[in-house]
Amino acid sequence: MTRNIEENTAPDAATKTVLAKTSAPASKSSAPTDAPYGGLTKQELVEFFRQMYTSRKLDDAEVNLKRLQKIYFQISGAGHEAALVGAARALRPAYDWFYPYYRDRALVLALGMTPVEVLAEAVGSSEDPNSGGRQMPAHWGHKDLNIVSQSSCTGTQHLQATGAAEVGRIMQEIAELKGQTDRYETDEVVYVSIGDGASSEGEFWEAVGTAATFKLPVIFMVEDNGYAISVPSSEQVHGGSISHAVKGFKNLYITEYDGCDPVVSYIEAQKAVDYARAGHGPALLHAHVVRPYSHSMSDDESMYRPEEERDADAERDPITTYPKFLIKEGILTEEEVEAIKAEVEATVEAAVDTALELPTPHPDTALDYIFSPDVDPTSDDFSTEPQWDEEGGEKTVVDLLNHTMRTEMRRNPGIVIFGEDVADFTKTEYEGQVKGKGGVFKVTHRLQEEFGYRRVFNSPLAEANIIGRAIGMATRGLKPVVEIQFFDYIWPAYMQLKNELSNMRWRSNNNFKAPVVVRVPIGGYLKGGAPYHSQSGAVLFTHIPGLRVVMPSNAADAAGLLRTAIRCDDPVMFLEHKHLYRQTYNKSLNPGDDYMIPFGKAKIVRPGADLTVITYGATVERTLRAVKKLGNVDAEVIDLRSLQPYDFDAIAKSVKKTNKALIVYEDGQSWGYGTEIATRIGDELFEYLDGPVRRVAALDSFVAYHPDLEDRILPQIDDIAEAVEWLHNY
């Protein structure tokens, strides 16, 4: 197999950073875990208590601030402290990567976050390193410590952590292909945590399955306090124990232990981390902890937990039991314990005073970082003239999409392509025996042949898995260009797309980003596509802030827009209409390897003076044929190309000239994409209109299998012609 990455590469800045990473620091050899206290020194044992007590006192401080109405929400990490300081001691701050959840206050403190930084998020300060005042308290994120911005969604971060864990081996492969075997070496691990309740989420199981299959260095921490708000573990997990439920996964190291004991927690975490660092695969830490406070200050656990059960938890509370252990072992005296408590309390009190004086975000910053502040894909920087390759002849949309990905992968070695069936082979021994798949529509055909199995590979049949892993890779500097095989099946990934991918930059206050390109075959007009292979619904993505959405109607535009999508620094939904993949009317010469089209720039595909027709995708050609069929209407036809952002300036200029507007789109008419445009024309251009703003769209129905039904449901040439003629005569 030929594998080639050109020496004359031009990766983006983030990829350069990943490529330039030097060799890992020498591993700190693990102390024998059978030594007294697991090999921990007395100083480390005392530091455990200091970290645990600091975490608890910060919880208490926030509870008080909430009661005083000086903060707006509080959720505690109380009872989880011992498991977390033990895990943190086994990990490497700012070297390993971390995807914690809201109970992990003690972990982030042990990794190096300060009390003021923790409280800065509670007060919503603009100087908060977690989110700049954009997220609720306990939504951790710290760029300098490799703590990736956390959302409120439970369990979604597991797939991102799995993707982050793949980056090391991908970069090693890239370095090897370039003959630079010493350029990227790492034994990093990725830590990700949840409560016992979130282990019911499908994305947890997808992540464990992927990590186990590919022996990825992921440390899965399940902090089991017995309840998911009010639902007990016995009703969350099969058999009541997640560590028993996952025993069928090959390569997965599993340990279940008392998470109220920091020494035991360290010993068990160290064994798991050593296993993962050595390349054996992922590990699952099942720590049994307690929850001495209610789920949050919006919850009252006395309503569903009897006093006897809560008292039993209180007896195991590590803030009570651990200092007694230190005194019993002669490590601290009672006076020294009280002195540490007083010191911590003074530190936290001072941190509260400091946090309350921190500046808050200015209202004018609300729109900052929805998109990249540095790379603007709507600018002239992304407008290049085509350099037509006449020798190659005209190419289809599929041909030019494939060519664009190929040339961009040569240019940027940080690009990875994956999805369902996108690779030519999964089993390398089949190479040379079969032609190779390369996608159900052949858009990625033979890319793996050139770029190898680390840069082009198949995913499981799991759409959330694709997007979640891509987010983890992109956050660390790679450029994933992933494929969802059919738009009709994108919905399992909607959580990742809407709540994780689109707002990573905004919610982290520009500390993290995830510029993933999501390629999605979409649309009907297939003659037999039926309800589950003919769906449209771009509007369900165009309304999401932070997500750019484009849909080309011809081969040249497909090449130019895809190249812009790959080179820009924002997440992009790249919608590829299946009906247009191999049409002859939209073929084009290759416009060149640097051809780009700015987002938000429509194209007038037919100038006219009588009325304006605004459309995109497969209805562009149908509109042109409808106008041609009429013959007596001089309609101006606008191909939007880019749906978010869209070119309202071009629409306004045309409507001011023609004084009439018709929007044609394949989505359902009610609440569809064209409704927003029609409303805005009515709002902003009413004085220029000589007639009502009309729409031609699909019926508010599903797309049927039989062609006669499909033709009735989707907008046809005659439907468009009728609307054009009616509006012209109005």
From the number of C-beta atoms within 10 Å of its C-beta (0-12, 13-18, 19+), residue 347 rates as middle
Three-class SS state of 120: helix
β-strand partners of 395: 588
CA distance 653 to 650: 5
**Residue 336 one-letter amino acid:** E
Contact between 485 and 462 (Cβ < 8 Å): no
Residue 631: CB atoms within 10 A of its CB come to: 6
Q: CB neighbours of 715 closer than 8 A, spacing ≥ 6?
A: 619, 622, 664, 665, 666, 696, 697, 698
Strand partners, 664: 696
Within 10 Å of residue 32's Cβ, how many Cβ atoms?
A: 10
Question: Parallel, antiparallel, or unpaired: how do β-strands 635-639 and 603-606 relate?
Answer: antiparallel
Taking the C-alpha atoms of residue 456 and residue 459, their distance in angstroms, rounded to an integer, is 10
Distances (CA, A) of 701 to 372, 466, 534, 667: 37, 29, 12, 10
Cβ-contact 449, 2 below 8 angstroms:
yes
What are residue 395's phi and psi, to 5 degrees? -120, 155
Q: Which of 142, 288, 445, 533 is catalytic?
A: 533
Q: Which contacts qualify for 436-441: CB closer than 8 Å, 24 or more apart?
A: 439/483, 439/485, 440/485, 441/398, 441/521, 441/578, 441/581
Alpha helices in 585-716, H assignment, sequence order: 619-630, 648-658, 673-684, 707-713
417: left (phi over 0), alpha (psi -120 to 50) or beta: beta
Q: Is residue 166 a contact partner of residue 469, using CB atoms and an 8 Å limit?
A: yes
Contacts (Cβ under 8 Å, ≥6 apart) of 364: none
In which element (H, E) is residue 231 found? strand 231-232
Q: How many Å from the N-terminal Cα to the C-terminal Cα in the chain? A: 64
Decide if 533 is catalytic: yes
- Cα 273 from Cα 283, distance rounded (Å): 7
Q: Which residue has the tokens 């040439």?
A: 717
Judge contact between 423 and 451, C-beta under 8 A.
no
Query: Which of 217, 204, 214 has the alpha carbon at shortest distance from 273?
Result: 217
Beta bridge partners of 518: 482, 573
**Cβ proximity of 704 and 528 under 8 Å:** no
Decide if 266 contacts 285 (C-beta within 8 A).
no
Measured distance CA(686)–CA(696) in Å, rounded? 20
DSSP class of residue 282 equals: -
Is residue 245 within 8 A of residue 254, CB to CB? The reply is no
Q: Can you read off the two tokens belonging to residue 153?
A: 């969604």
Catalytically active residues are 533
